Amino acid sequence: MIEFIADKYNFWIAIVLMMIGFYAIIAKHNLVKKVIGLNIFQTSVFLFYISISKVNGGTAPIIWHPEGHAEVVYDNPLPHVLILTAIVVSVSVTAVALGIIVKLYKNYGSIEEDEIKLIEHNEPELDSK
Amino acid sequence: MIDFFTTHAPVLTIVVFIFGALLAPVFGRINNSLSYYCALITTALSFVLSVYLLFSVYNNAPLEYFLGGWKPPYGIEYRVDILNSFILSVVSFVSFLSVIYGYGSIKSEIYEKRHPAFYSVYLLFIGGMMGILITNDIFNMYVFLEITSLAGYALIAMGRTRYSYMASFNYLILGSVGATFFLIGIGYLYMQTGTLNLTDLAQRLQGHFDTNVVLVAIAFIVVGLMLKMAVFPLHFWLPDAYTYSPSVISAAMAGTSTKVAAYLLIRLMYTIFGIQAGFSGINFSGIIIVIASITILAGSIIAISQTDLKKMLAFSSIGQIGYILIGTAMVNKYAFAGGLLHILNHAMMKTALFMVAGGFFYKFTSTKINDLKGMGRQMPFASAMFLILSLSMVGIPLTVGFISKWYIILGAAQSGYWIVVPVILLSSLLTAIYFGRVVHNLFFKDSEASNTGILHAKIPYSMVSSTAVLVFLCIFFGVFAYMPVEISLKAAENIIGAMPWK
Amino acid sequence: MKDDVILRTITKFMLPFIQIFAFYTLAHGEISPGGGFQAGVIFGASFILIALVFGKNSARSKMPRNINDILLSTGDFIYAFTGLFCIFAGGLFLEYGKLPFHSAKEGNHIGMIIIELGVAITVAAVMMTIFFEIAGKEDD
């Protein structure tokens, strides 16, 4: 059992992080905490991608010997490239989310989801922007 | 010259949007109306290109385009066949008409200063969807999905009320979770096969459908895409997003974004998951049909209880997505054609309905159903268009709504999914109820004193004409349904292929 | 933080090195870890550092909003034009080998660097835009 966990510890870390992030997204009412949860959630996927790119005994996918006179095993570089794109996406999502939160705070004076809903329910306002 | 054009048309459909999105803010520095014309010309060009692509692939073989000259398993491949060029034309047509519509409504709903940014983001939004449709590389699909979603969050946040920020934020959280699920699914598929090209993936997945890795991948991808599609239990972001966004964006989004997510699921179901063959004892199409049936009924029932016109239309959209899923999941030529036709028909009907709702809002700054009493006398033309569109949504013969429902029921009868028939009939009845309520308010009630707050006396021609074109097409394609039916039947044959029908 | 002498002096000292390192990362992206994206992030971060240490207005005066917006579009234009140029040179979109340099190898080499330059400019401008937009609007 312990070997089963220890052998694949990187996947387990990805799963644990994913659950932590998912919990934060669902359970937290603070919008910034939700964004943090989303980031943890996406980071777990990055770890998962990096894990699947690992080749036994492989090294970083940079050509050490351009002439090719040495036998070097490289990791699979493609998931690294894919995850670079996904990181860019994640950064953009975070930026947009934070921008929206700034605007929400300016309009409502709060970043708690239930407080915002309460304010909206009590004093609905049209054309406030 | 024409050869050059045919070769490069797939990539040019995307490149015009890149240039348009970049030129719109640059022109906006000179004059706001220049950036409007930039958006107009870009969407018009993309519409011309997509129709050209549609005719080209309808008559000849599918087009392939290798980005950077790299051959498929290594590079990104763009592939155009009848299925995606059909939806490509629908999306670009709806986006083009929405821009025309926006000439009047954007000025009244969005700050002058934000117009160039609005057009730029709008073009990115549409361009991302065109990218999803045209690419044949699953990771590229994810990237375009995120481009269009990010642009969508920004567009919703530009809405007229302060709550549109909250609507946008909720969509952002759920949309990102959905896209990340899709990403995990891609990771599992890559783990199993080591490739990202759809055609290559389909070959390498043969015989691996009973491994847990592939099953988990399918589960993640289907759930992620259903979140994007707003299928019933995962629909919470959609009503707020449609209600609180600017009228143009409600109209454009209702016609395009969920349809594109549906296309993504259809494409993956048929091309790589092999829904035709069925795998490892799981009745894949059965599961999807059950989910879609629940979606249809739930969306229609919730729509009945709404008090806001735009929210009611949004819930109706959730229900209508179910038709597309139900038709395409049945693995039958006619049902598939019906589902595909419903993408076109629902895009036209729902875009036009949101346009009419935007027209009511433009004149009276309200979309509450109770405030619409007696509107039939004050805005006869808009109310008449609303009536025609409602009849089309219900599925009265001689309108487009009838055609797609007819083909779905025909396919259901052929393939033996009899449960679908009562679901569709019941949902038509529910649709009649919730649209009937609005029509009753429009024509048979006297206007109350509360809705006299007229904002604009006259609705601009741009708004009226773009809606009228869609309403005309709703009837035209309902009477002369030959062309779209032929195209979708041929697309269905190509996709389902030589597989035995169920 | 504006009064912290040590922080200000060290920032002033480090800034040129950070920015030169960004260019190094860009130029060496072909043969070692690095590339346009990383270079852009490092370059943008240097301006964020100025904003953190010397204040937002000081950083804005070094990178005005207009120039930032223009850079944002310029990078993308470089990318898209290179792609389009490859089409007119007889290749497919982004097929650098067909660029009119001496050989396909040379074309790949230079085309890649041009593309990376475009990416770097855009990423740097985007980093700054994101920071300034979230840190607070000047005119809203």
Q: Indicate the domain borders of chain A.
A: 2-58+72-122
Contact yes or no for B22 and C92 at CB 8 A: no
State the pLDDT at residue B417. 86
- Report yes or no on B53 lying in a domain: no
Q: Does C80 touch chain B (CB under 8 A)?
A: yes
- From B54's Cα to the closest Cα of chain A, the distance in A is 31
State the pLDDT at residue A2. 82
B15 closest CB neighbour out of C84, C96, C97:
C84
Let me know the angle formed at the C-alpha of B313 by B309 and B317, rounded to the nearest 5 degrees: 170
Nearest chain C residue to A66 by CA: give it: C31
Contacts C91 to B, Cβ<8 Å? 69
For chain B, which residues score pLDDT lower than 50? 498-502
Which residues constitute the domain of residue B465? 299-502
Interface probe with B: pick from A10, A19, A96, most Cβ of B within 10 Å: A96
What average pLDDT does the structure give for chain B?
87
Tell whether domain A2-58+72-122 is in CATH 1.10.287.3510.
yes
Tokens of B367: 């979309």
pLDDT in tens, A19-63: 999 999 999 899 999 999 999 999 999 999 988 888 888 777 777
Q: How far apart are the first and last CA of chain A?
A: 58
State the pLDDT at residue B380. 85
- From C18's Cα to the closest Cα of chain B, the distance in A is 29
Residue C70 has pLDDT above 90, yes or no: no
A100 closest CB neighbour out of B139, B157, B177:
B157
Looking at the structure of chain B, the number of domains it has is: 1
Contacts A60 to C, Cβ<8 Å? 33
Contact yes or no for B65 and C92 at CB 8 A: yes
Tokens of B137: 């590389």
Interface probe with B: pick from A23, A92, A104, most Cβ of B within 10 Å: A104
| A71-75, B256-260, B390-394, C122-126: range with lowest mean pLDDT | A71-75
C133 closest CB neighbour out of A62, A84, A99:
A99
State the pLDDT at residue B499. 47
Contact yes or no for B67 and C93 at CB 8 A: yes
Tokens of B287: 């599961």
Whole-prediction pTM? 0.93
Residue C42 has pLDDT above 90, yes or no: yes
State the pLDDT at residue B377. 81
State the pLDDT at residue C4. 82
**Is B142:B183 a contact under the CB 8 Å cutoff?**
yes
pLDDT in tens, B433-482: 999 988 988 888 877 655 556 666 678 888 889 999 999 999 999 888 88
Rounded Cα–Cα distance for residues A97 and A108 (Å): 16
Residue A14 has pLDDT above 70, yes or no: yes
Q: Which chains touch C (3 or more CB pairs under 8 A)?
A: A, B
DSSP B278: -
State the pLDDT at residue B501. 40
Q: Does B19 touch chain C (CB under 8 A)?
A: yes
pLDDT in tens, A109-119: 888 888 888 88
**Is B217:B189 a contact under the CB 8 Å cutoff?**
yes
Rounded Cα–Cα distance for residues B339 and B348 (Å): 14
Span A120-128, average pLDDT: 66
Let me know the angle formed at the C-alpha of B278 by B275 and B283, rounded to the nearest 5 degrees: 95
Contact yes or no for B22 and C80 at CB 8 A: yes
Contact yes or no for A48 and B176 at CB 8 A: no
- Residue labelled with tokens 């034309």: B89
Question: Domains of chain C: which residue ranges?
Answer: 5-135
State the pLDDT at residue A128. 45
**Is B190:B214 a contact under the CB 8 Å cutoff?**
no
**Is B147:B217 a contact under the CB 8 Å cutoff?**
no
Show Cβ contacts of residue B221 under 8 Å, excluding neighbours closer than 6 positions.
B181, B182, B185, B186, B268
Number of CB pairs, chain A paired with chain B, less than 8 A apart: 84
State the pLDDT at residue B379. 82
Residue C48 has pLDDT above 50, yes or no: yes
B162 closest CB neighbour out of A31, A45, A107:
A107
Three-class SS state of A112: strand
State the pLDDT at residue B493. 87
Question: Using N-to-C axis directions, what is the helix angle for B461-479 and B82-109, rounded to 10°?
Answer: 150
Show Cβ contacts of residue B216 under 8 Å, excluding neighbours closer than 6 positions.
B185, B188
State the pLDDT at residue B98. 92
- Report yes or no on B212 lying in a domain: no
DSSP B308: B
